[in-house]
């Protein structure tokens, strides 16, 4: 199938600033991790073609990019999302505490979108208990994954998992 004829699925990474959203996308799309990045301003998205079973699909992966504080701007950004990652930083308890706010904000715009919980920065000493985070995710009925954009740990499974959620969404 030509790339232009491929189905496109919009994937959104949400979560507080500095948790590693942009780094995860870069790591996945470019295979790179930049130790020091300027905070992205404006909407940022990249596309990547993935093989799901026998089917090739295209992901457009959107990052809440440097706009974490501007709620009204984000509403339009969520429209059309087919899967969402709620990302937090294992070294930053506030970023975990805020996941419920992100979930609620997204549910208002795309009520049925499947979400996954992502605990990033596994390469650092955790302050948030991964068990607590896993339990929270389970209560929400969301898959849970621990990642590191720095080492690449679980980055590929993260995006393949999101692609799977997007494609196999019940009722879609
Ligand atoms: P954001 O897009 O969610 O705002 P960024 O977050 O991707 O811009 O990352 C914020 C900072 O965390 C960056 O550091 C980045 O290098 C770092 N970071 C992201 N993911 C990881 C990770 O898995 N492990 C470690 N150790 N660091 C990570 P700077 O220093 O540039 O602010
Ligand atoms: Mg960013």
DSSP-based three-state secondary structure for 170: coil
How close is the Cα of 165 to the center of ligand 2, in Å?
A: 23
For residue 100, tell me if it sits in a domain. yes
- Does ligand 1 come within 6 angstroms of the Cβ of 86? no
- Token pair, residue 12, equals 């959104």
Distance 1 CA to ligand 2 centre (A): 32
Any atom of ligand 1 within 6 Å of the Cβ of 37: yes
Cα 90 to Cα 62, 76, 147, 153, 155: the distances in Å are 22, 28, 10, 14, 15
Please state the three-class secondary structure of 57-79 as a single string.
EEEEEEECCCCCCCHHHHHHHHC
pLDDT, the chain, mean: 87
Domain contains 106:
yes
- CA 58 to ligand 1 centroid distance, Å: 25
Whether residue 95 is contained in a domain is answered as: yes
Which pLDDT tens digit goes with each residue over 107-153?
Answer: 999 999 999 999 999 999 999 999 999 999 999 999 999 999 999 99
- Classify residue 123: in a domain, yes or no: yes
Q: Is 25 in the pocket of ligand 1 (CB under 6 A)?
A: no
Report the C-alpha gap between 61 and 163 in whole angstroms: 10
C-beta of 146 in contact with ligand 1 (< 6 A): no
> Is 91 among the domain residues?
yes
32 lines ligand 1 (CB under 6 A): no
Distance in Å, CA 27 to ligand 1 centroid: 11
pLDDT top residue among 106 and 64: 106
- In contact, 59 and 48? CB cutoff 8 Å: yes
C-alpha 2 to ligand 1 mean position (Å): 35
State the first-to-last Cα distance of the chain, in angstroms, to the nearest integer: 22
Residue 80 maps to a domain: yes
Position 66 confidence tier, pLDDT thresholds 50, 70, 90: low
Query: CA 133, 138, 144 angle in degrees (round to 5)?
Result: 60
Q: Is the CB of 95 under 6 A from ligand 1?
A: no
Range of the domain at 36: 3-167
* 33 phi, psi to nearest 5 deg: -130, 120
Instruction: Provide φ and ψ at 109, rounded to 5°.
Output: -100, -45
**CATH number of the CATH domain containing 47:** 3.40.50.300
Any domain includes 172 = no
The predicted pLDDT at position 38 comes to 44
pLDDT at 99 over 90: yes
Does 49 score more than 50 pLDDT?
yes
pLDDT value at position 3?
Answer: 72
Report how many domains make up the chain.
1
């Amino acid at each position: 199938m030509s790339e232009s004829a491929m189905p496109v699925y919009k994937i959104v990474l949400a979560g507080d600033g500095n948790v590693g959203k942009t780094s995860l996308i870069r790591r996945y799309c470019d295979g790179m991790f930049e130790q020091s990045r300027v905070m992205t301003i404006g909407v940022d998205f990249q596309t990547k073609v993935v093989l799901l079973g026998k089917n090739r699909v295209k992901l457009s992966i959107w990052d809440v990019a440097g706009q974490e504080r501007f709620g009204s701007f984000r509403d339009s950004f969520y429209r059309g999302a087919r899967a969402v990652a709620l990302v937090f930083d294992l070294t930053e308890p506030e970023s975990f505490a805020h996941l419920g706010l992100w979930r609620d904000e997204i549910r208002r715009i795309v009520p049925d979108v499947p979400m996954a919980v992502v605990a990033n920065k596994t390469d650092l000493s955790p302050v948030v208990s991964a068990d607590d985070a896993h339990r929270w995710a389970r209560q929400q009925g969301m898959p849970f994954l621990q990642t590191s954009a720095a080492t690449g740990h679980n980055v590929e499974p993260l995006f393949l998992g999101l692609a799977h959620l997007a494609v196999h969404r019940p009722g879609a």
